[in-house]
Amino acid sequence: MLTVEQNEELTKVGPGTPMGELLRRYWYPIAFEQDFDSVPTKTVRLLSEDWTLFKTPKSGRYGIVAEHCPHRSASLTYGVVHEDGIRCGYHGWKWDFDGNCLEQPAEADNQNFRDRVKQKAGKAQVMGGMVWVYVGPDPAPELPRFDVFVMDGIKDCGYATLPCNWLQIMENSVDPHHVEWLHGYYFNFMGETQGFDAPKAFQKKHLRTGFEEMEWGILKRRVLEGGSEENDDWKVGHPLVFPFYMRVGGAGIDQMQIRVPVDDTTTWKLFYSNHAPDGGQWEPQDRPVFYEYFWRDDQGRFITDYIEGQDIMAWVSQGPVTDRTQEHLGRSDAGVAMLRKMFKENMKRVANDEDPIGTVREPHDIIPLPCERDKFGAEREFAEAFITMGSMRYSPQKQGLLDLHADAWARRESKAGAGA
Ligand code: FES
Ligand SMILES: [Fe+2]
């Protein structure tokens, strides 16, 4: 149980708050490349601040500045984009990528005045079809090239905006027991009442769970009923990647779950997957497929007949910012306690002007993350359930993904048969 102050410290993400300052040390995906196909600007909200993201017409360079113009606050999203920055639509003040004022056309030329006004600015770049931004202090760290975003395969990404604090979702990433209940027992109940077969792999009981701090966050392990410490679920595990991702996967699917803290009570939640089953064949893809997944029905009830819909019910029904003064953590919540401690320690590091965990300063090609290949000892069922009973059921390329995996299994089976 936390005090009101402790809960606020962990959940407020605005500028000047301890968590807000920590979170400003990381890069976030905030838009898709395709958002800029027909318009050069977009308003985005990140860490309780509004920003104008823009793309230059010729070089295709991305920039990000605070949305409201320092002159008299008109939105820069309705500005004119130049190769060297963005010009406010209202009176033409021009801002470069670092927020310096280059021109004030209706003013007498006055370098002093120009130098006195500065716009807040961040950094922006593209990876994996998404536009990533950094709005913290200089020098900006490298954008970490986590494996899922840069590996070869077919990419698929569902997104939704959820009305809850991002930490509720992060705490769920260090809560393995919910799988057998929410995605096992409850899913089975849904299936019985609605007449479908819920996946059996999720119903296995957890015999043992383990959490350990690692370079990128917290590695999570489990031994399930019928399994042992020799299974990938324990031997390899998968990490919560501090401070806003979880890496999952198995059965030829690799996924990064991304929780962008838009503000204290809003999270942009993405399931970014790469499909590359062993033996599978695919054509190079121009861009990842992005689509919205749904989580409330016409009556306003949560849609809980699929895996992520069940998670969303749990996250959002806790309230916009869950009241941690009323909770009762048990022994099975050891991961939650470890995560809060990690946040606390890293807020301290930032207050001492040190880099927090996961800060990358060296250029690199790829950062591999540990993740089970064999998930729950149920490869085929796991991959099918992931695609048809998760957020990917809303994907426009769902059938193509199922075919890709089915074809890979068929090839592997025929190869094994030929070798036998
Ligand atoms: S409000 Fe932007 S130039 Fe006047
Ligand atoms: Fe879940």
Say if 123 falls within a structural domain. yes
Summarize the confidence of residues 278-302 as an average pLDDT. 96
**Is the pLDDT score of 381 beyond 70?**
yes
* 78 in contact with ligand 1, CB cutoff 6 A: no
Confidence of residue 205 (pLDDT cuts 50, 70, 90): very high
Confidence of residue 416 (pLDDT cuts 50, 70, 90): confident
Q: Which atom of ligand 1 is nearest to the CA of 104?
A: 3
* Whole-number percent of the chain with pLDDT over 70: 99
b or e along 387-415 (b: 16 or more beta carbons within 10 Å of the residue's beta carbon)? bebbbbbebebbeebbebbeebbeeeeee
**Is the pLDDT score of 413 beyond 90?**
no
**Is the pLDDT score of 116 beyond 70?**
yes
**All residues at 6 or more sequence positions from 308 whose CB lies less than 8 Å from its CB, including other chains:** 158, 271, 293, 295, 390, 391
Instruction: Indicate the SS3 state at residue 221.
Output: strand
Ligand with an atom nearest the CA of residue 87: 1
Number of domains observed in the structure of the chain: 2
**Is the pLDDT score of 377 beyond 80?**
no
For residue 199, what pLDDT is reported? 87
Which element (helix H / strand E) includes 53?
Answer: strand 49-55
Q: Which atom of ligand 1 is nearest to the CA of 76?
A: 2
328-363 pLDDT, tens digit each: 999 999 999 999 999 999 999 999 999 999 999 999
**All residues at 6 or more sequence positions from 300 whose CB lies less than 8 Å from its CB, including other chains:** none
Please indicate, yes or no, whether residues 295 and 381 belong to a single structural domain of this protein: yes
Please indicate, yes or no, whether residues 83 and 215 belong to a single structural domain of this protein: no
For residue 376, what pLDDT is reported? 66
Summarize the confidence of residues 263-274 as an average pLDDT. 98
Confidence of residue 128 (pLDDT cuts 50, 70, 90): very high
Ligand with an atom nearest the CA of residue 75: 1
Confidence of residue 419 (pLDDT cuts 50, 70, 90): low
For residue 242, what pLDDT is reported? 98
Can you give the residue range of the structural domain that contains 182?
Answer: 147-419
**All residues at 6 or more sequence positions from 48 whose CB lies less than 8 Å from its CB, including other chains:** 13, 14, 15, 20, 262, 263, 264
**Is the pLDDT score of 202 beyond 90?**
no
Please indicate, yes or no, whether residues 100 and 168 belong to a single structural domain of this protein: no
* 69 in contact with ligand 1, CB cutoff 6 A: yes
Please indicate, yes or no, whether residues 118 and 166 belong to a single structural domain of this protein: no
Structure tokens given for 215: 């370079």
Please indicate, yes or no, whether residues 35 and 154 belong to a single structural domain of this protein: no
Please indicate, yes or no, whether residues 368 and 298 belong to a single structural domain of this protein: yes
Please indicate, yes or no, whether residues 110 and 206 belong to a single structural domain of this protein: no
Say if 305 falls within a structural domain. yes
**Is the pLDDT score of 108 beyond 90?**
no
pTM for the whole structure: 0.96
Summarize the confidence of residues 39-44 as an average pLDDT. 98
Say if 139 falls within a structural domain. no
Summarize the confidence of residues 314-334 as an average pLDDT. 97
Domain termination site, one of 100, 134, 168: 134
Say if 320 falls within a structural domain. yes
Please indicate, yes or no, whether residues 274 and 391 belong to a single structural domain of this protein: yes
Q: Which residue has the higher pLDDT, 340 or 109?
A: 340
Measure the CA–CA gap between 78 and 88, rounded to whole angstroms.
Answer: 7
**Is the pLDDT score of 412 beyond 90?**
no
* 88 in contact with ligand 1, CB cutoff 6 A: yes
**Is the pLDDT score of 379 beyond 80?**
no
Confidence of residue 420 (pLDDT cuts 50, 70, 90): low
DSSP 365: S
Say if 13 falls within a structural domain. no
